[in-house]
Structure 1
Amino acid sequence: MREDRKEQLAAFNLATGTLGMILIATPWAFDISEPTAVWSAVFSGALVMRLGFSTAMHFREWKARVEAAVAAWLLSVPWLLHWEKLSGVTWAHIVVGLAVAGAAAAGLRGRTADETPLDLGQCRGARPC
């Protein structure tokens, strides 16, 4: 993978990780007491934060695919759990979900022939994969 592309993906994922931290804080910022909204924001934010920072450090395609699934969850959870009227937390989920979807799309977009998936047969001894 080209160095400039690696840096761009790292920047996207660092921003995503930061948004995960913000999502964790949204129930308290908007004084939300709905338990499902609080739990969703905290757990989803922690997952987004972990994925964003982890992917920024070492990109793997499977992490980008998990980010895409988490983005779909974030964009749909207010309506699935019926707390869409809690506007602050709903909008936080939507904004973070769109950002995570963008980072995942950037990671999965433009794969070329020289960017082949990791060949586990090449991992031998103490050499990291």
Structure 2
Amino acid sequence: MENWSNAKLCDVANFVLGAVLFFSPWMFGFDAGAASGNAYVTGLAIAILAIAALAAFAVWEEWLNLIVGLWALVSPWVLGFQGTTAMTVHVLIGAAVAVLAAIEIWIMTQNPPRLTTGR
């Protein structure tokens, strides 16, 4: 049960991080270019995956969150908005989401959830 709680906490944290990334163009004043568009799409994807994981956990959701988090991490260089506040936000949130997803994957591989009650 402790592992389940840790996984849920990671999902809640990912939801918050996704929401912060989504609202970051308004919070930090990004321009209307690639940085803000990427923040909207990536933040929304992170939040939706976190909600899906909270509703019904599946390992594939965590793998997708890991990929989206890594995308947020490298997107400033791919899309060309390095050296900006938008870059800092994307890198920090992307790294945090990727680490949390990796932790959840590790937790689930160490103690996979039981599908039966054991009765």
TM-score class normalised by the smaller sequence: 0.7 to 0.9
- Count of aligned positions: 114
Point out where structure 2 has 5 or more consecutive residues left out of the alignment: none
* Segments of 4+ moved more than 6 angstroms: none
TM-superposed deviation, 1:52: 1.5
Partner of 2:70: 72
Q: What residue is the counterpart of 1:28 in the other structure?
A: 26
Partners of 1:10 and 1:57 within 8 A in 2:
no
TM-score w.r.t. the length of structure 1 is 0.80
Q: Aligned equivalents of 1:65 and 1:71: distance in 2?
A: 10
What is the distance in 1 between the residues matched to 2:54 and 2:7? Answer: 7
Runs of at least 5 residues in structure 1 that lack an aligned partner in the other structure: 119-129
In structure 1, C-alpha distance between the alignment counterparts of 2:60 and 2:42, rounded to whole Å: 18
Give the CA deviation at 1:92.
1.2
The yes-or-no answer on 1:104 pairing with 2:97 is no
Indicate the residue corresponding to 1:91 in structure 2: 88
Return the alpha-carbon distance in structure 2 between the equivalents of residues 115 and 50 of structure 1: 23
The percentage of aligned residue pairs carrying the same residue is: 24
TM-score (norm 2): 0.86
2:18–2:47: 8 Å Cα contact kept in structure 1? yes
Partner secondary structure for residue 102 of structure 2: helix
Partner-residue secondary structure (3-state), 1:8: helix
Is contact 2:10-2:104 (8 Å) kept?
no
Report the 3-state secondary structure (helix = DSSP H, G, I; strand = E; otherwise coil) of the residue aligned with 2:61. Answer: helix
Larger Rg: 1
Q: Residue 22 of structure 2 aligns to a residue in which SS?
A: helix
TM alignment of 1:35-54, pairs within 5 A: 35-54=33-52
Separation (CA, whole Å) in 2 of partners of 1:115 and 1:24: 32
